[in-house]
Structure 1
Amino acid sequence: MTEFSDTVNDTGIRATGLWPATRRSTSLGLMVPVSEWHAFGGSPHFADILDISRTAAATGIEALWYADHFSFGEADETRGFWDAWTLMAAIAASVPDVQIGPLVACTAYRNPGVIAKMTEMIQDISGGRFILGLGAGWHKPEYDQFGIKFEPRVSQFEEALKIIHGLVRDGEADVQGKHYGANQAVNLPRSASGHATPILIGSSGDRMLGLLARYADAWNTCWYGSTEGLPEKIAKLDAACEKAGRDPATVVRTIGVNVANDGYTGSRGDPFRGDTGETVAFLRDLEALGFRHIVIGLDSCTPRSVAAFAPVVEAFYSGT
């Protein structure tokens, strides 16, 4: 696992930059469909999700990502998602070698101590292959359906992040907040892997980027079908790091991109479209912008379409 320093600097910022060792300086991941509306073209069940995950790993994809939602839509238009955490535990036990993580886990849906405990368990199951993606959430109907308070999202996230970071990275947390608390809490037992868990935050909001600069290893921005607007997003991240007193180079930059294939379902808007060479060129453009991990939102996303994406993966990694 590649890492930068994990020490607190003189501004009180934990200058982290943990990330798994990869075959190339920029690696590829896959967003695996887990919902009724997604690019699978129907409602995937565990056998389908496992098949897609195994197929992706066989192509050379290095990370598998899973959405953390309850549902999309309202009333009679609601479409549901499978629970990400129990799913990731099963995938961790069934698919070796690849990294696994939520993109991203909403901290409002579960107590932060529970998130830390689940993280440690999956880290142990996977042998140190888990990446913890976190976010503040955004889809208010989900909150309303399950009686979860929507605002103040970022303030709630900040308290949850402090607790999760302490428990996951240091094994303990003592945080007294307005929304959450941890009273000399300890995260035991610890994963036998001995690997520290990378923490990724998905957001481009000003306050969230400030928290990312203080606590996170990696940043995610998504979903794109071109490079348009990305330099501005990157500059915003860099400015947040500099304001916090952190070297921007210690933040691992990740991105989610939508890619259409012949079976395009329309569930992923404004996707990139191109043949193998054009798709590889697009991925190389993202690499040139400084992204170290690219999550492919493939549409359609079935075992067959993932297998058909293998030439892109091979060409990207081979440098051809």
Structure 2
Amino acid sequence: MTVRFGVHLPLIDFGGEPWTAARLSDYVREAAALGFDYVCANDHLLFRRAWLDGPTSLAAVLDASADMTIATTVALPVVRGPVHTATMLAALHALSGGRLIAGVGPGSSAADFAAAGIPFAERWKRFDEAVRVLRVLLGHDASPFRGRFYSTDGVDGPIVGSSPPPPLWISSWGSPAGIRRVAELGDGWLASAYNTSPQAFRDGVTRLEASGRPATFPTAVATTWLHVTDRADAADHVIDDLLAPTLGRPADDLRAAGLPIGSPEQCAERIDAYIRAGAERILLWPIGDEIRQLTAFRTEVVPLLTA
């Protein structure tokens, strides 16, 4: 199996540089030149640090992304509303020339739900309905849907004509319930590198196959935080001072997650673990000095991969 790599847009400013359209476009062009196949963006309303809106940023780099596949990792149809999310996804798909993977998830941030005025406890029930609405609005399903929270009443067919519609990938950290949802509603599975261990990923792939999904059912590991450095103190700084407070997670938990933060050898070992677990796509989020980090990954880490 040949693994393919992608990059997250740098929506969090770890390096103190101002956000500009030119900076994002240069980053994407460099990623394409380095051979990365995907460019993706996460989605939040609010975050612990200043956050550049993901879908808007993805739209800003459509031209720079050339023939790269673009992806939302993930859009939030409960927080933003399924109709608004569908129109956004349909526009990205149309304007990119059909290059979108429409990744969606319920969202895990209570702050996003509070900002949207939606009870956090309702996220799973609402998400199941929202995905069914998306499948109708994007053109996957022809039958109308009417649920407790959402319906397609008043919507006549797909909102933006796109043939074929974008594949709808469902996010899950790998729980049995999450994998059942992926198998039932999704065209692919998006896992999270700092929430889904390689073993949990392998177990998820096994559950998907047991549910009747073929071995070719597409998967990806997203939000794979990356920092290549031979200095142990620099790696500690990235985890302790940048990533842990940004994510609101204990630094020891992030170390235990086995993220590719450290020497080229350590990063290669951690990427190999996901490849051996069956990951077909790994989406990297470089922390600080992004282009240099992507270059280091390609030139120093990839040659060491053995899986």
Band the TM-score falls in, shorter-chain normalisation:
0.7 to 0.9
- In 1, Cα distance between the equivalents of 2:164 and 2:181? 23
Pick the aligned partner of 2:36 from 51, 61, 82. 61
Correspondence 1:170-319 to 2 at 5 A: 170=140, 172=142, 174-183=144-153, 185-191=156-162, 194-203=163-172, 204-224=174-194, 229-239=197-207, 242=210, 245-247=211-213, 249-256=215-222, 257-262=224-229, 265-266=238-239, 267-268=242-243, 269-270=254-255, 271-276=259-264, 279-312=267-300, 315=303
Pick the aligned partner of 2:4 from 15, 21, 27. 27
- In 2, Cα distance between the equivalents of 1:313 and 1:248? 31
Deviation at 1:54, TM superposition (A): 1.8
- In 2, Cα distance between the equivalents of 1:274 and 1:69? 28
Deviation at 1:314, TM superposition (A): 6.2
Q: Assess if the C-alpha contact under 8 Å between 1:30 and 1:64 holds in 2.
A: yes
CA 1:150 to 1:285, structure 2 compared with 1: closer, same or farther past 3 Å? closer
Q: Assess if the C-alpha contact under 8 Å between 2:228 and 2:260 holds in 1.
A: no
- In 2, Cα distance between the equivalents of 1:82 and 1:173? 36
- In 2, Cα distance between the equivalents of 1:133 and 1:91? 18
Deviation at 1:313, TM superposition (A): 7.2
Residue type of the alignment partner of 2:166: T
Pick the aligned partner of 1:87 from 57, 82, 88. 57
Deviation at 1:28, TM superposition (A): 0.3
Residue type of the alignment partner of 2:158: N
Residue type of the alignment partner of 1:49: L
Q: Assess if the C-alpha contact under 8 Å between 2:21 and 2:60 holds in 1.
A: no
**TM-score when normalising by structure 1:** 0.77
Residue type of the alignment partner of 1:186: G
* 1:83-124 Cα shifts (integer Å, max 9, x gaps): 222221221133201111121111212221222222222112
Q: Assess if the C-alpha contact under 8 Å between 2:220 and 2:280 holds in 1.
A: yes
Q: Assess if the C-alpha contact under 8 Å between 1:131 and 1:200 holds in 2.
A: yes
CA 1:306 to 1:279, structure 2 compared with 1: closer, same or farther past 3 Å? same
Q: Assess if the C-alpha contact under 8 Å between 1:93 and 1:125 holds in 2.
A: no
Task: Please give the root-mean-square deviation of Cα atoms over the aligned residues, in Å.
Answer: 2.9
Greater helix fraction, Structure 1 or Structure 2: 2
CA 1:229 to 1:276, structure 2 compared with 1: closer, same or farther past 3 Å? closer
CA 1:207 to 1:295, structure 2 compared with 1: closer, same or farther past 3 Å? same
Identity of aligned residues (%): 22
- In 2, Cα distance between the equivalents of 1:284 and 1:219? 19
**Secondary structure at the counterpart of residue 103 of structure 2:** strand
CA 1:237 to 1:86, structure 2 compared with 1: closer, same or farther past 3 Å? same
- In 2, Cα distance between the equivalents of 1:47 and 1:173? 43
Q: Assess if the C-alpha contact under 8 Å between 1:174 and 1:185 holds in 2.
A: no
What corresponds to 2:66 in structure 1? 96
Size of the aligned set, in residue pairs, is 283
* 1:245-271 Cα shifts (integer Å, max 9, x gaps): 423524322113332224653333433
Higher RCO (CA-CA < 8 Å; seq separation 6+): 1
**TM-score when normalising by structure 2:** 0.80
- In 2, Cα distance between the equivalents of 1:313 and 1:57? 17
Deviation at 1:173, TM superposition (A): 5.1
**Secondary structure at the counterpart of residue 92 of structure 1:** coil
Which stretch of structure 1 is more off in the superposition, 270-279 or 129-138? 270-279
Q: Assess if the C-alpha contact under 8 Å between 1:35 and 1:43 holds in 2.
A: no
- In 2, Cα distance between the equivalents of 1:168 and 1:40? 37
CA 1:70 to 1:301, structure 2 compared with 1: closer, same or farther past 3 Å? farther
Deviation at 1:236, TM superposition (A): 4.2
Q: Assess if the C-alpha contact under 8 Å between 1:52 and 1:306 holds in 2.
A: no
- In 2, Cα distance between the equivalents of 1:43 and 1:223? 27
